[in-house]
Amino acid sequence: MSASQAFLADRARAIKPSPSMAAKARVDQLRAQGRDIVDFTVGEPDLPTPAHIVRAGMEALRGGDIRYTASVGSRPLLEAIRLKFQRENGLDFGLDELIVGAGAKQLIHTALSATVQAGDEVIIPAPYWVSYPDMVLVNDGTPVTVPCPEVDGFKLTPQALERAITPRSKWLLLNTPGNPAGAMYDADELRALARVLDRHPHVWLMTDEIYEHLAYGGARHVSPVAAAPSLADRALVINGVSKSYAMTGWRLGYAAGPKMLIQAMAALISQSTSCVSAVSQAAARVALTADQGCVAEMARLYGERRDRIVALLNAVPGLRCQAPQGAFYVYPAVEGLLGRRAPDGRVLGSDLDVVMYLLDVAGVAALDGSAYGLSPYLRLSFATSMAQIEEGCRRIHEACARLS
């Protein structure tokens, strides 16, 4: 270890950069070199923020709504969030049980910072969003990943949860609808998991519900706390406006949970970012309270893209792709490509090898399942145009046909 590396804290050396952001940087680099790349890596809507939400942000600027707010968020936004939970999730929180952050990501990280100490374990079903384990590590905790195979719909079973719990377990971190596989838990499945947690009252539940409005084929999001009210006094519900309202760059998430935890999170935020941009808060209030037709239209459009990309990928020899119930990703299995030989002689031995082959030969950027804790799979985002989906899948088909 060099002297400069030794200067860094152990927690900084323990984590790695986000694979999604690293992939985006690689795509940008290749495009700068003149390569034509079809990019399926980025997990953000390709659609613009709806015009009425943009106008709300502009009106806030013109009206002088540019000051600090309370660290938990402005009261008008907190009231809008409270009504949202009542209207859409059947959950009732006090204003002192709500908090706003610079994205759902900050709130997950802050909740872990407020609760996790060295030796504490956080149970993370795999495949998982890439940031979960590293956020646990940076807070001195131990991520305990639980494989959730395709045969189980990429979902955590009560039996697997029971086996993962130890006296050191602090949280179960549950993502529904899920990134990367689009898995969604129905009410019965959530109640079955809750019965396990009821037997282990030292384990809290953190639910990441950022994709709740993006559900397809008759699937409907159920908030775990609504399905299992017995967990309400030890649960934190995470959500935000990034995905459903195409507001990723506005950086605004929100959370609901016990007052004691919210107060601790607010104290940490007060010493880091102080508060979320007042302009973003004003826009988010309108997003949550105005007509929700724009959300339904986005979900309809993504549903069409989902159906098309699943059909095209299942037509590629060596790939197998389940239709996701929610979010905007597919997670095709590539085991049928492993052991195959590329025209240049290289043998594809892993899903990462498949990713690099598709990037080099086809100019298609995807992410490997190993980054998400479950191989051999790829993650492709269909939050892109139908033309890009068609072209990207055509290239994948041609590249796979060249394997021997």
Per residue in 39-57, pLDDT tens? 999 889 999 999 999 999 9
Q: Which residues neighbour 187 within 8 Å (Cβ) at sequence distance 6 or greater?
A: 222, 227
pLDDT digits (tens, 9 = 90+) for 60-118: 999 999 999 999 999 999 999 999 999 999 999 999 999 999 999 999 999 999 999 99
Mean residue pLDDT of the chain comes to 96
3-state DSSP assignment of residue 295:
helix
pLDDT digits (tens, 9 = 90+) for 163-186: 999 999 999 999 999 999 999 999
pLDDT digits (tens, 9 = 90+) for 112-157: 999 999 999 999 999 999 999 999 999 999 999 999 999 999 999 9
> Is the pLDDT reported for residue 300 higher than 90?
yes
Give this prediction's pTM: 0.95
> Is the pLDDT reported for residue 191 higher than 70?
yes
> Is the pLDDT reported for residue 374 higher than 90?
yes
What is the DSSP code (8-state) at residue 325? S
pLDDT digits (tens, 9 = 90+) for 231-257: 999 999 999 999 999 999 999 999 999
Q: Helix, strand, coil shares of the chain as percentages rounded to 5?
A: 45, 15, 40
46 within 8 A of 389, measured Cβ to Cβ: no
> Is the pLDDT reported for residue 230 higher than 80?
yes
Maximum distance among all alpha carbons in the chain? 64
Name 270's bridge partners: none
pLDDT digits (tens, 9 = 90+) for 377-401: 999 999 999 999 999 999 999 999 9
With bands split at pLDDT 50, 70 and 90, how would you rate the model's confidence at 20?
A: low
First to last CA, the chain: 43
Structure tokens at 197: 């947690």
The CA radius of gyration of the chain, in Å to the nearest whole number, is 21
Q: In terms of Cα–Cα distance, which of 241, 248, 239 is closest to 209?
A: 239
State the pLDDT at residue 30.
Answer: 83
> Is the pLDDT reported for residue 312 higher than 80?
yes
Q: Which residues neighbour 175 within 8 Å (Cβ) at sequence distance 6 or greater?
A: 125, 128, 129, 132, 207, 208
Q: In terms of Cα–Cα distance, which of 20, 11, 232 is closest to 105?
A: 20
CA dihedral 102, 107, 108, 112 (to 10 degrees): 130
3-state DSSP assignment of residue 215:
strand
Alpha-carbon distance of 147 to 149, in angstroms, equals 6
Name 144's bridge partners: 123
Q: In terms of Cα–Cα distance, which of 194, 191, 206 is closest to 256?
A: 206
Domains and CATH numbers, the chain: 3-48+294-401 (3.90.1150.10), 51-291 (3.40.640.10)
Question: How would DSSP label each residue in 21-40?
Answer: HHHHHHHHHHHHTT---EE-
> Is the pLDDT reported for residue 9 higher than 90?
no
Percent of the chain with pLDDT over 70: 99
List C-alpha distances in Å: 19 to 90, 93, 399.
35, 35, 23
Half-sphere exposure of residue 38: CA atoms within 13 angstroms, side-chain side: 23
State the pLDDT at residue 27.
Answer: 81
